Structure 1
Amino acid sequence: MMTAIIPKLPIRNKEMTRKYYSLLGFKATQNDFEAYLMMVKDTMEIHFFEFSELLPSENYGQIYIRCSNIDAIYDAFLKKNINIHPSGHLKQQHWGQKEFSLLDPDHNLITFGQSLI
């Protein structure tokens, strides 16, 4: 039986990533491995692997986080001065989702979405 899916994203620096995702409400797990980071929030888990040669401008890592009360999440991020993706401000999409997006320090795209249906 399959029970969960955990995305793994490339990063250049564990500490920089830990700080950024902490702003989003994630916490590092107790496990601390060289060149590998695991962050959790509620029932979500994201893993990160160090890739020192990563060029952020060429990174296409992406995750989609489904959520409820997206307006409150968006407002909380704005109050923390978290940069919203230039093309990813909160809006209703024609496919029935309300969404916004962020780019982490390594240009992994994080999209948050709430169903309008």
Structure 2
Amino acid sequence: MLTDIHPKLPMRNKSITKEFYINKLGFKTFGNTDYDEYLMMEKDQIQLHFFEFKTLDPKENYGQVYIRTDAIDRFYQSVLDSKTPIHPNGPLETKPWGQKEFSILDPDNNLLTFGQSLFVEK
């Protein structure tokens, strides 16, 4: 049975990526081992992993991940409070498919979309 998923996204500079996810999004480092070319970050119940790709051209990076939340308004405000730019096409809004969501880009142009279902599960 499938139990978890840990997306792997490219990064050009480990320290810049680490700083962004800690200071802008409230993540923390996962694990006790520091790998030279690999980074694991976590927040609440999710993990994002990053692999070094020094020659990555951010304009040609199509890395994307969709992250579900149960507190979209509060998280959106925390992102604004940390002065993290919201993607020009991704402001917080209700989508026709029943999600309230917004998007940002990380330092390597990985698209992070955060969403919350507007449907109440029974």
Normalising to structure 2: TM-score of the pair? 0.93
Distance across 2 between alignment mates of 1:52 and 1:75: 32
Distance across 1 between alignment mates of 2:41 and 2:27: 6
CA-CA distance at 1:80 after TM superposition: 1.1
CA-CA distance at 1:39 after TM superposition: 0.4
Q: Paired residue for 1:106? A: 108
Identity of aligned residues (%): 56
* 8 Å CA contact 1:31, 1:38 repeated in 2: no
Q: Paired residue for 1:88? A: 90
Q: What stretches of structure 2 of length at least 5 have no aligned partner? A: none
RMSD: 0.8
Aligned positions, number: 117
Amino acid across the alignment from 2:17: T
Q: Paired residue for 2:7? A: 7
Amino acid across the alignment from 2:41: M
SS across alignment from 1:21:
helix
Determine whether 1:24 maps to 2:25: yes
Q: What stretches of structure 1 of length at least 5 have no aligned partner? A: none
Amino acid across the alignment from 1:97: Q
After TM superposition, which residue ranges in structure 1, 4 or more long, deviate above 3 angstroms? none
CA-CA distance at 1:3 after TM superposition: 1.8
Distance across 1 between alignment mates of 2:103 and 2:40: 21
Q: Deviation per CA, 1:21-60, whole angstroms, max 9, x where unpaired?
A: 0020111122211110000111111100000110000000
Normalising to structure 1: TM-score of the pair? 0.97
